[in-house]
Amino acid sequence: MISYRWWLLVLAACGSGLGAQTRPVTASTGAPPNALTAAERAAGWRLLFDGRTLAGWRGLGYDSVPTAHWVVVDGTIKKIASGNVPRVPDGRPLNGGDLMTVDTFGDFELTWEWRVTPGANSGVKYNVSEELSMAQGSQMTPDAIAKGIITPNHSALGFEYQMLDDDRHVDGKIASHRAGALYELVTPNATKRLRPVGEWNESKIVFRGNHGEHWLNGAKILEFQLGTAAMDSALAKSKYRSIPDFADRRKGHIVLQDHGDEVYFRNIKVRDL
């Protein structure tokens, strides 16, 4: 006869197994998100998001977090969809709420996980000058908007790692606007493997000296070198060409973009190089 105590032990084991299966983990490390492994600590990594609060962040051009735009939900940073608000021609809200690190970074490696909702657009920006961004935003007149000048209020100017639903968003038709691109400047290569909408992607940026790299789900999908003929040509053809000092190398902020759509970030980690 099977004892009652034996059944309790079996049920307890099954329950703990189910819990282990449903607990979120990072695919590349098997560790829970928003936590550092011992090896990461030893290598100089630190968390930019603790999984519970937005400590260490504020809105670009704001003294605090714009809570109408951003909230922490279930261990993620959620960009709240903006709804029907005035927008500039590329779809960003005219009065945005980009979320910016309080700290600035020079040579660094950044990793994070992200997922988008159907049709969504966002990104991670770096090499960002708050002063340059706000100065450009203050020049947004109706005439400037009509001409397609790209900087609404509280929107960061900097290099952008594009995050996108490639299949549903109109930007997916432009190679340098697709997920993983250095937005408007460099196109991802053929090693890119984007996970389906609703699943978590793992991304990495390496920025050291004049050299930059974008990685997606374990593969290096592009690299660039500032000051080269190829990069100068890409900048001259881009929407950034009329913005003085846009591509100057600086110690800048890291920014989560408010493009008006619902997107999620977690497991944001950085280390100085």
pLDDT tens digits, one per residue of 61-109: 999 999 999 999 999 999 999 988 877 777 888 788 999 999 999 999 9
User: Are the C-beta atoms of 155 and 258 separated by less than 8 Å?
Assistant: yes
Q: What number is the average pLDDT over the span 18-36? A: 71
Q: How high does pLDDT run on average in the chain?
A: 88
In the chain, what is the straight-line distance between the N-terminal and C-terminal CA atoms, in Å?
64
| CA atoms within 13 A of residue 86's CA, in its CB half-sphere | 7
Which of 82-86, 102-106, 131-135, 137-141 has maximum average pLDDT?
102-106
Which superfamily does 32-272 belong to?
A: Exo-inulinase; domain 1 (2.60.120.560)
Question: Taking a C-beta distance cutoff of 8 angstroms, is the pair 90, 235 a contact?
Answer: no
Q: What is the mean pLDDT of residues 108-127?
A: 98
pLDDT in tens, 234-264: 999 998 988 889 999 999 999 999 999 999 9
Q: How far apart are CA 152 and CA 145, in angstroms?
A: 9
| pTM to 2 decimal places | 0.87
* Chain centroid to CA 164: 10
Regarding beta strands 121-128 and 108-116, do their DSSP bridges make them parallel or antiparallel, or are they unpaired?
unpaired
CA gap 119, 203 in Å, rounded = 19
pLDDT of residue 20: 39
CA 141 to CA 193: how far, in whole Å? 40
pLDDT at 150: 62
Locate the domains of the chain by residue range: 32-272
The one-letter amino acid code at 262 reads E
- As a whole number of angstroms, the distance between CA 41 and CA 33 comes to 14
Report the alpha-carbon distance of residue 75 to residue 72 in Å, rounded.
7
